[in-house]
Structure 1
Amino acid sequence: MQQEISFVEIAVIGGGPAGLCAALEAANAGARVVLLDRQDRLGGQLIKQTHRFFGSRSHRASERGINIAAELTGQVTSHPLIEALTGATVFGFYEDGVLGVEQEGRVFYLKPSRVIVATGASEKTLAFPNNDLPGIYGAGAVQTLVNVYGILPGKRVLMVGAGNIGVIVTYQLLQAGMEVAAIVEAAPGIGAYWVHAAKVRRAGVPIYTSHTIKRAYGGREVEGAVIWQLDEQGQPVPGTEKDFAVDTICLSVGLSPLVELLAQAGCRLAYVPQLGGHVPLRDANLQTTVPGVYVAGDAAGVEEASAAMMEGALAGLHAACSLGYGRAGYEARRRELQHQLDSLRSGPVGEKIRTGLARVLAG
C-alpha cells in the first residue's frame, strides 16, 4: 500500500534556537511552515541554559536561554501559519525531496517546497582508559540532568575542557551544590570568555591548562581520575600525573554538526575544523548545493546560540522570499539580520568562525 504524501511549503527540521527563529521568520513573511523536532518540547539547547546571554540587546543580552526558549516556543505554537510537531523524528530525506517522519509510532511523509535543516550538533567524546565507566558524562547531558530535571550527577566532578560550555557548566554545578575538583584543558590557554572563567576562578576552582586526562579508575563506577601534563607538541609528560578522587567526570571537548540528513539529501559537505567537522557548502543565502535546501545553526557550523538564532532567521527569510513571500521588506530585513550576525562574528573572538565560513561559501 502506497503511503500518502502531504505537500507543505516550508519544513523546518529542528526546534532549537535556529529552527524556532527560522519558522517564525518564514511564517511572519507569509509562508506556511511545519516545524519538526524529535524531542518532546521545543527549545533545543536553550532549555538548559540558565546563564544570562551577553552582547547587545538585539543579541538577547541579559536574558537567560530558558526564558528565550519559552518566549520563542510561545510565539511558534500560537502562530496561525506554523504547525509544530514534537516527538517527530525525520528519519529520511529522499532523492525526490520527500521527508520520512515518525511520531509516536506513526510514519508519514512530507513533500516540502523548501527545507531548512537546523538539526544542531552532537557532543564529541574523548578516548582514555576506562572512559566507559558509569559516572562519565558529556557536558550537555550534565546540563540536562541539573538544569532540566534537577538531578545532580554526583558529589565531586572533574571537568575536562575549558571552553565556554565547560566553564559555564562548571559554574552551574557549583551553584547546584557539587564540588568541582578542577578543570583540565589540553590547550595552553582557556577557550572560554573571561566573564565566565573569572566566576569559577573566584570560586577557587583550579584550571590546569596544557593537561589532559590520562585515565579514569573505579570498580563499578568512577572513583577517581588521573591527569597529566602535555608538552609543546601535545605529548604527555611522564612523571607529571595528578590524582583526583571524584565520582563524576564531565567531558566538554567540542561539538560535531549533525549533517546526516543533509548528506542524505545529496548536499556537498566539507570537513572544516573551525566549524566543528563536516558541514554543508552553502551560498550567501544559506542555501546548500541542493536547490531549496537551507541550513542554519550548529548544523551549519558550531557557534553560540545567539548566532544560531540570527542564522535561523536569515534562512527562514530567504526560504520564504524564494517562494514569493515577504519581498516588499525583504532587503531591509536581510540587511538588519546580516548586520546582527556579522557583529557576533566580529573581532578576534570570531576569527575562527570567519576563517571556516570562507571555506564553505559556494556562491
Structure 2
Amino acid sequence: MIEIDALVVGGGPAGICAASTLAEKGLEVWLVDENDQLGGQLVKQTHKFFGSKEHYAGVRGIDIPQKVDLCKVKVLSNTSVLGCYKDGVYTLIIEEKTYIKVKPKGAVIATGAQEKFLPFEGNDLPGVYGAGAVQTLMNKEGILPGKKVLMIGAGNIGLIVSYQLLQAGVEVVAVIEGADRIGGYWVHSAKVARASVPILTNHTILKAVGKSEVEGAVIAKLNSNWEVEPNSEQTFEVDTICLSVGLAPINDLLWQRGCQMQYVKELGGYVPSRNKFLKTSVDNIYVAGDVSGIEEASSAMVEGKVAGLALAMDIKGENFEMEIEQAFRSLKWLREGETALNLRKGLEKIGVIEC
C-alpha cells in the first residue's frame, strides 16, 4: 500500500492541469493515464486554439501538454485504474503486468469521454469511423482514412475534423447535421463553407452502401419532428463515413465509488452531482473535464485548475479561493454565447449555476 497526497486519473487537458496545480501547491501527486503519452484529445488537435493567452490562444493542441509544468508530478503512463473502493484505495495496473495499491488523501477523476455511435444500416462496414479514430489516423499516425468522406455531425469536432481532412487532401462531399442549426463555432464552420463543402442541417444518414466496405451513403431530410421526409433521399459516392455525433462521459470509477450520479442530456449523459468547486458527493473526490459534462478543452483545463486548487485546500487547510474565483471568471467567459446555451442549461439542472 502506497500512501500519497493526491491521485489524478486521466492525463488529458483537465488531468494535466489538475496535477500541475496540485504539485504547485506542494503536494505529492501521481498522474496516471492509460495511454503512452499525455494530452488526451490534445495529441490529435493540430489546429490552433483561440480565445485568450490564458486559454493558449494561437497554440496548437498538440503543443499544449509540453507547456504544462509537470516536473514535480510522478507520471505513470500506460497505467489503468482498475478499482476505486470505499476505503479510499485505488488499484492500478502498470503496463499490464504490475499491480499496485495507492491510498491518496484525495483524488481528481478526469477520465474524459468516449465517442457515441449511431445506429443505421451498414454501420459495421469497414470505412465507418468515429471522428476521434480519424484524427488518430491522420494527425498521430499519418494515415488517410479514405479519399472521399461524408461527415455526420456539425458540432465543433465534426467541423474541425472536416477541415483537417481537407487540409490533408481528402474530399469531404458534405457535412450533415440532424438539428436545424450548426452546433459548432462559426470560426470552424466558416472554414469548411469557404472550401465549398455543403453543410446540410435537418439531415441524417439512412444507410451505408457496400458489401465488404463502404462504397456510398444514403442520407435524407428530417422534418421538425425528426421524421424522415418522403422522397428526400440522396446518395453520395464515398469510401468513408465519419461519425461525430457526440461524446459520453467515462464515469465507471465514479459509479464504482458510489458517487451520486444524474442523467443530464445537455452534458452528454450520466454525470456526477458536484458543487461549484467540482467536489462530488464523496469526500475528497473531485472531477474535471468531460467526465463531469461534455465541454471544450479550454474549459476542461480551467476545471482541472479549479479541482486542483479545491482539493489542495481540503488537504492542506490553506485558502486558495482568490485563485479559484479567477478561474470561475474564466469559465464564465468560456461559457457565454449561444453555442454554450445547452451547456448552461445542463449546469443549471445539477445546480452548478455560479459559473
Which residue of structure 2 aligns with residue 89 of structure 1? 80
Which residue of structure 1 aligns with residue 174 of structure 2? 182
Which residue of structure 2 aligns with residue 353 of structure 1? 343
**How far off is 1:195 after superposition?**
0.8
SS of the aligned residue for 2:183 comes to coil
Opposite residue 252 of structure 2, the aligned amino acid is E
Which residue of structure 1 aligns with residue 228 of structure 2? 236
- Percent identity over paired residues: 51
The residue correspondences of 1:2-151 to structure 2 (distance < 5 A) are: 5-72=1-68, 75-76=69-70, 78-79=71-72, 82-104=73-95, 105-151=97-143
**How far off is 1:261 after superposition?**
0.4
Which residue of structure 2 aligns with residue 207 of structure 1? 199
Opposite residue 360 of structure 1, the aligned amino acid is I
Aligned length: 352
**How far off is 1:362 after superposition?**
7.8
Q: Is the 8 A contact 1:128 1:213 kept in 2?
A: yes
Q: Structure 2: how far apart are the matches of 1:60 and 1:239?
A: 47
Opposite residue 69 of structure 1, the aligned amino acid is P
Structure-2-length-normalised TM-score: 0.97
Q: 1:107-160, CA deviations, whole angstroms, 9 ceiling, x for partnerless residues?
A: 111111101000000000000001000110000110111011111011110000
Match for 2:289 among 294, 297, 302? Answer: 297
| CA-based RMSD | 1.2
Matched, 1:268 2:264: no
Q: Structure 2: how far apart are the matches of 1:95 and 1:248?
A: 46
**How far off is 1:350 after superposition?**
2.5
Q: Structure 2: how far apart are the matches of 1:343 and 1:111?
A: 36
The residue correspondences of 1:147-158 to structure 2 (distance < 5 A) are: 147-158=139-150
Structure 1: runs of 5 or more not aligned: none
SS of the aligned residue for 1:323 comes to helix
Q: Is the 8 A contact 1:281 1:362 kept in 2?
A: no
Q: 1:260-318, CA deviations, whole angstroms, 9 ceiling, x for partnerless residues?
A: 10010100100001111100000121110001100000000000000000000010011
Q: Structure 2: how far apart are the matches of 1:166 and 1:29?
A: 38
The residue correspondences of 1:321-340 to structure 2 (distance < 5 A) are: 321-324=313-316, 327=318, 330-340=320-330
4+ runs deviating over 3 angstroms: none
Q: Structure 1: how far apart are the matches of 2:249 and 2:112?
A: 6
Q: Is the 8 A contact 1:307 1:344 kept in 2?
A: yes
Q: Structure 2: how far apart are the matches of 1:168 and 1:348?
A: 19
Q: 1:176-222, CA deviations, whole angstroms, 9 ceiling, x for partnerless residues?
A: 11111111111111111111111111111111111100000111111
